[in-house]
Amino acid sequence: MRPPTSTLNIFPSKPMHIEPPPSSSTPNAVAPSGSTRPSSEPSMDLTNHSQFQLPQPSKSIKKEGNRKGLASSDHDTPKSSDPKVIVNQIEPLTEQQIVGICGLQQSTHEAEEALSQGLEALNQSLSNSIVSDSLSPASAQLPPHLSNFMSHMSLALNKLSSLEGFVLQIKKALNNPYHLASWDPQTDCCSWYCLECGDATVNHRVTALTIFSGQISGQIPPEVGDLSYLQTLVFRKLTNLTGQIPRTITKLKYLRSLRLSWTNLTGPVPGFLSELKNLQFIDLSFNDLSGSVPSSLSLLPNLLSLDLSRNKLTGSIPESFGSFPAKVPDLYLSHNQLSGYIPKTLGNLDFNRIDFSRNKLGGDASMLFGANKTTWYIDLSRNMLQFDLSRVVIPKTLGILDLNHNGITGNIPVQWTEAPLQFFNVSYNRLCGHIPTGGTLQEFDSYSYFHNKCLCGAPLDSCK
């Protein structure tokens, strides 16, 4: 979590009186340097505050009620009555620069107040200058580029306050839980519990929203989609969180990790998740999601892990899951109601972890194994699979293998003794023959082997 940064005081807290520079000197304009950030929202780098200064008033200014005027000493200083001279002394900021300034102190009350005071001071100072010189209505009109400047400043203020507003709307939608009591608009939102901000490359925007456990109820607020620089979104172990996954999260183009687990979310697994091309981790486990597994999820080019386990999903495993575009992700589809056959195209992939347990899958699963693969974890238990285990060559890297409660036939190949198995269970099948000796197969107790047709040998009874 990034500590709160000091407030950038862009404008003086009191109104400015702009005076013409001496004719013998020319103000030196300092061009702000650009900062690195996504091209969709450019800004400027103002980390060196001393290099970015607006013209400072040369004399003190006093306030009298709501009317701001000059101190008596200021009347002794000559000033120009030409509004063009006044305007030319104000170096206008572009909209990109204004947004960049706001990015430095996003969503903070202090920055918003400073900008608001500065805008008011600038407007009042110009008004005082125009009125004091009794300019005609025609000459009192602001030039176009100054009018644009004022519009850009107002736009920047709106953007600044809206970022904070999005976060507070999320709190409100969750019924203002005590869990989020630190979300105080008087403090820097980067210090709020459950929020993290990025570095200067994203202008210190909110990059992670992680709400874990707590007495939080309601639905996932659609306002989460307005946190445009979010990379991590987590709602976990919130049993009173209901409703469907909002489509607004498709606006989170930088999202890498989506973890909405151990809640009571309903509805389908949304196919629109495939629009989030930077997604690496999807965890929607332990919910009440229904419907089929979207085939479009196989289009995600950076996906490393997909966990849809412990839901109420039906239908078959999509054929498209045999053609992920890049690295093969870990697949967790267990504890659902999936049926049909495992697509043969999955045999072309080298999975690290695959868990299809506790479904209604039938047919052959031998294609998931192979001597040239680097798979470490395979759990196909409690299905209706039927294939000959004698033909299966397991990877030499396999550490976890669970095939219990299926209709698998044949015997256990001798080659299996070479695998570094840490967990092994083939109980409740139709296996026969002698359990191979050597390796780790004798290290597992009888529960890993019992209730087979005619399997024998240690740790079971000896073969007759």
- Each residue of 233-243: pLDDT tens digit? 999 999 999 99
- Does residue 75 surpass a pLDDT of 70? no
- Does residue 84 surpass a pLDDT of 70? no
Higher pLDDT residue, 353 or 134? 353
Q: Which of 216, 268, 266 has its CA nearest to residue 242?
A: 266
Calpha distance 357→337 (Å, rounded): 10
- Does residue 183 surpass a pLDDT of 50? yes
Higher pLDDT residue, 220 or 27? 220
Residue 254's pLDDT is 96
Calpha distance 3→16 (Å, rounded): 32
The answer to whether residues 315 and 292 touch, using CB atoms and an 8 Å cutoff, is yes
Higher pLDDT residue, 333 or 4? 333
The answer to whether residues 279 and 304 touch, using CB atoms and an 8 Å cutoff, is no
Give the CA-trace dihedral at 211, 213, 217, 219, to 10 degrees.
40
Average pLDDT, the chain: 75
Residue 402: CB partners within 8 Å, gap ≥ 6? 357, 378, 379, 380, 381, 423, 424, 425
Residue 375: CB partners within 8 Å, gap ≥ 6? 350, 351, 352, 353, 354, 368, 369, 395, 397, 398
Residue 289's pLDDT is 98
Instruction: Give residue 212's pLDDT band: very low, low, confident or very high (50, 70, 90).
Output: confident
Instruction: Give residue 330's pLDDT band: very low, low, confident or very high (50, 70, 90).
Output: very high
Instruction: Give residue 178's pLDDT band: very low, low, confident or very high (50, 70, 90).
Output: low
For 443-463, what is the mean pLDDT?
A: 93
Higher pLDDT residue, 361 or 7? 361
For 262-291, what is the mean pLDDT?
A: 98
* 25-65 pLDDT tens trace: 444 443 344 333 343 333 334 334 344 344 444 444 334 33
Residue 214's pLDDT is 77
Calpha distance 210→79 (Å, rounded): 56
- Does residue 197 surpass a pLDDT of 90? no
Residue 133: CB partners within 8 Å, gap ≥ 6? 81
Percentage of the residues of the chain whose pLDDT score is greater than 70: 61
- Does residue 121 surpass a pLDDT of 70? no
Instruction: Give residue 347's pLDDT band: very low, low, confident or very high (50, 70, 90).
Output: very high
Residue 40's pLDDT is 38
pTM: 0.66
For 129-155, what is the mean pLDDT?
A: 47
Instruction: Give residue 1's pLDDT band: very low, low, confident or very high (50, 70, 90).
Output: very low
